[in-house]
Structure 1
Amino acid sequence: MTRRQARKRVLDCLYEASMGKDMDDFLVQYEDDKQYGFIRNFVDIVKKNTEFCDDIISRYSKNWELSRIGQVDKLILRMGISEIKAMKIDKRIAINEAVELAKTYSTEKSPAFINGILNRAAEDGDNTGGNGK
């Protein structure tokens, strides 16, 4: 499994959890994959930093309440912010991967929306909540 495919699994897991399903039950199917550690760590970091990510999303999504943003877009944004702020992934890679997820799994306007918020978030020096541990 590639890192891009692993990110898709992270999105799947976060979506399942947002629907009230148990993440561990979902993740068990990937335990034998070489990307399991990456997937598990990424999911844990996004969950730990949800409030921090939502604060950043709210700050940069002008005229959009967090509650109005689609669930898939919110999850992709949380993933991108977590990669940039907590996991210290190069912002170009994190943003590109988030935009690619949005192109495939969200609406036509979502990639530009996600790109804009993540670019602003990447330029923001606020790492106070981004905890990658």
Structure 2
Amino acid sequence: MPKGERLESRARARALQALYAWDVRGAEGLELVATRVWDDLAVGPEERRLAGFIVREMIQHGEEIDRELGDVTTNWRLERLGAIERTVLRLAAAELRRGETPPKVVIQEAVRLAERYGSEQSARFVNGVVDALARRLGRL
């Protein structure tokens, strides 16, 4: 993690790491995978708490989140996307659903994560999808 990065941004990156590991491993439960990843990385309690909000939203509403994302990625089936793009989209959708972070911040952070862990092309794609989802959910 970049030094001096805000706690919330670090927590989003931790949630991304957990969601990504869960996505590529497949069979294991998300809560178990998140705990294992965060233990391996010695993630502190405050980062875990904030990242946990996103992870729990995905645990409780994952099917609905994937359905909502599928509705706005009309030309792309979610399972055909790269794991990073799919994971960033799920993270952003979960955070939008919680409704505690301004939608523009959710979009900015999702784009930043897509740039950092994916590519410039990933970032543009994520920007368009998360913006469309926020509008569809009535958040923008």
TM-score (norm 1): 0.83
How has the CA–CA distance of structure 1 residues 63 and 34 changed in structure 2, closer, same or farther, with 3 Å as cutoff? closer
Q: Which one of the candidate residues 123, 132, 136 is aligned to 1:124?
A: 136
Higher relative contact order (CA 8 A, sep 6+): 1
Q: Which one of the candidate residues 7, 32, 36 is aligned to 2:12?
A: 7
For 2:3, the equivalent position in structure 1 comes to: none
For 2:54, the equivalent position in structure 1 comes to: 42
Amino acid at match of 2:125: F
Contact 1:80-1:98 at 8 Å conserved across structures: yes
Unaligned runs of 5+ in 1: 128-133
What does 1:52-63 align with in structure 2 at a 5 Å threshold? 52-63=64-75
For 1:99, the equivalent position in structure 2 comes to: 111
What does 1:80-99 align with in structure 2 at a 5 Å threshold? 80-99=92-111
- Name the % identity: 24
Greater mean deviation of Cα atoms: 7-16 or 82-91 = 82-91
Supply the RMSD in Å over aligned alpha carbons: 2.0
2:29 equivalent to 1:18: no
1:33 deviates by 3.4
- d(CA) in 2 for partners of 1:97 and 1:90? 11
For 1:111, the equivalent position in structure 2 comes to: 123
Contact 1:27-1:40 at 8 Å conserved across structures: no
For 1:27, the equivalent position in structure 2 comes to: 38
The SS at the match of 2:46 is coil
Unaligned runs of 5+ in 2: 1-5
For 1:75, the equivalent position in structure 2 comes to: 87
Amino acid at match of 1:60: V
- d(CA) in 1 for partners of 2:91 and 2:68? 12
TM-score (norm 2): 0.79
Higher helix share: 2
- d(CA) in 2 for partners of 1:2 and 1:88? 15
